[in-house]
């Protein structure tokens, strides 16, 4: 599978399952209606697990422009691939958002609140203070990218030769990333909804703008730059700290 196509598919799966759990909790007359924040954070973490599991072997499963930019700044990814990855991720976000709408279409019709409909596509702050919201998104994404950069496969040493052998985790290697996202959602998600991924927010927000959703409100474009710029700033900060580790010989 082509790496760009893998990023498109992986991001679409991420949004289908991630925004799908939000729709299941927020929309009217669903089985999961009002199931709460724990269900949403658990669903999002498993969405990350599923997406990474499906496409990790083909593209590294960035499925997030912040990961792509952060790994490039850290020197772990080619800058030449960055534009293609981000375009694929954004398109995947749009398609994933559209799939959630088509899947839950009768429930969108049964839901009256326009803010709940929008929340199944993109994030919004509970207290709207844009500089602080930007800070929250940057800090949450910093944790994600810093952890990803420091992840390492386990190793063991062969006594006879003193060689160190790296043991790949295979498919289970997707689990640590999912647990990081779960931790971020539970601990840091209460302020802005922890977008921590520009494609996760902007892609579905564009889908919301395009789709003929009955009774939908506006797209809150005034807030839209926050879940794009915040994650990028957080990713760059994490990458620069990682590079400082390298300069100091700590990695």
C-alpha of 78 from chain center: 21
Residues 6+ apart with CB under 8 A from 10: 51, 52, 54, 55, 59, 61, 63, 92
Distances from the Cα of 221 to the Cαs of 90, 122, 123, 141, 224, in angstroms? 16, 11, 11, 21, 5
Greater model confidence, 246 or 152:
246
Ordered alpha helix ranges (H), the chain: 3-26, 37-59, 65-73, 82-103, 105-110, 114-119, 130-150, 174-188, 198-210, 226-247
Residues 6+ apart with CB under 8 A from 55: 1, 6, 7, 9, 10, 13, 61, 63
Tell me, what's the pLDDT at 173? 72
103, pLDDT greater than 70: yes
Average pLDDT over residues 76-81: 95
* Average model confidence (pLDDT) across the chain: 92
Domain containing 143: what range? 3-247
Percent of the chain with pLDDT over 90: 86
Tell me, what's the pLDDT at 168? 43
Tell me, what's the pLDDT at 172? 64
CA distance 131 to 166: 43
pLDDT in tens, 159-193: 455 554 444 445 567 899 999 999 999 999 999 99
Average pLDDT over residues 26-43: 98
* Residue from 77, 86, 60, 74 nearest 8 by CA: 86
CA distance 206 to 92: 11
What CATH number should be reported for the domain holding residue 225?
Answer: 1.20.1080.10
Number of folded domains that form the chain: 1
- On the 0-12 / 13-18 / 19+ scale of CB atoms within 10 A, 7 is buried
């Amino acid at each position: 599978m082509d790496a760009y196509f893998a990023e498109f598919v992986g991001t679409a799966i991420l949004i289908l399952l991630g925004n799908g759990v939000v729709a299941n909790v927020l929309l009217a007359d669903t089985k999961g209606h009002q199931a709460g924040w724990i269900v949403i954070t658990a669903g999002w973490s498993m969405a990350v697990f599923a997406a990474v599991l499906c496409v990790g072997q083909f593209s590294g499963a960035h499925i997030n422009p912040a990961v792509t930019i952060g790994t490039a700044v850290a020197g772990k990814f080619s800058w030449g691939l960055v534009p293609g990855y981000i375009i694929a991720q954004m398109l995947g976000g749009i398609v994933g958002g559209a799939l959630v709408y088509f899947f839950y279409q009768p429930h969108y019709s049964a839901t009256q609140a326009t803010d709940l409909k929008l929340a199944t596509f993109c994030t919004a702050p509970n207290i709207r203070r844009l500089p602080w919201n930007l800070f929250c998104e940057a800090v949450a994404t910093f944790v994600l990218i810093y952890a990803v950069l420091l992840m390492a496969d386990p190793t063991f040493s062969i006594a006879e030769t003193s060689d160190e052998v790296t043991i790949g985790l295979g498919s289970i290697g997707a689990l640590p990333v999912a647990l990081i996202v779960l931790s971020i959602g539970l601990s840091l998600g209460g302020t802005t909804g922890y977008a921590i991924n520009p494609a996760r927010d902007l892609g579905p927000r564009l889908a919301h703008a395009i789709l003929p959703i009955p009774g939908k409100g506006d797209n809150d474009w005034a807030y839209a730059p926050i879940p794009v710029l915040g994650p990028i700033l957080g990713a760059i900060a994490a990458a620069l700290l990682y590079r400082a580790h390298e300069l100091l010989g700590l990695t």
